[in-house]
């Protein structure tokens, strides 16, 4: 199972062992499921950067891709159509290479200071791609975490350990049925 993402997946400020992908691995192990998490989170990563390193990330066979990219595109105000094209290409190439792999998309929100048109367009990318690729969708990865100071580091952007635990709960709710189905196949 590949987590392709940003500093949120990498565990910026808390370390990879406390990041939500590591917490997902703990849940997988506790449930006795036959999956191994590969954390390909990279601080500062944009959708373009994720696309550039996709081939390297897909070297090993994967059963599940959790795509967590787009947050840094939004923070930098990069064009939404470019982000969508990059994410689309990541999903297309993954599906082409591993047709049976399950896809999970972690949606993000753009900062409100970029204007309502930008934030609306940004928000629509993730569900549209989930429909196109029949992927599972986590509508907003940071739901219940982003606006809660006690769940974030001092920068107000990156989750602390408690924030990662909350994210892992939300991801697990979406991921567990996907993993169970994969075992039954």
What does the buried/exposed string (b/e) look like for 26-63 if buried means 16 or more CB atoms within 10 Å of the residue's CB? ebbeeeebebebebbbbeebbbbbbbeebeebbeeebb
Active site residues: 7, 155, 158
CA-to-CA distance for 151 and 163, rounded, in angstroms? Answer: 4
Asked if 69 contacts 87 with a C-beta cutoff of 8 angstroms, the reply is: yes
Beta bridge partner(s), residue 65:
2, 103
């Amino acid at each position: 199972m590949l987590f392709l993402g940003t500093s949120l997946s990498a565990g910026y400020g808390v370390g990879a062992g406390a990041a939500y992908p590591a917490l997902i691995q703990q849940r997988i192990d506790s449930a006795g499921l036959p999956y191994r998490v590969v954390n390909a989170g990279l601080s500062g990563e944009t959708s373009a950067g994720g696309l550039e390193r996709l081939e390297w990330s897909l070297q090993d066979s994967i059963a599940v891709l959790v795509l967590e990219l787009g947050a840094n595109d939004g923070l930098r105000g990069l064009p939404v159509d470019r982000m969508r094209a990059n994410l689309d290409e990541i999903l297309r190439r993954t599906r082409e290479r591993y047709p049976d792999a399950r896809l999970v998309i972690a949606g993000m929100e753009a900062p409100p200071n970029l204007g309502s048109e930008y934030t609306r367009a940004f928000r629509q990318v993730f569900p549209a791609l989930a429909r196109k690729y029949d992927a599972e969708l986590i509508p907003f990865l940071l739901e219940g975490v982003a606006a809660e100071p006690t769940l974030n580091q001092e920068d107000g952007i990156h989750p602390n350990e408690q924030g990662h635990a909350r994210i892992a709960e939300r991801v697990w709710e979406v991921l567990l049925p996907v993993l169970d189905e994969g075992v039954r196949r």
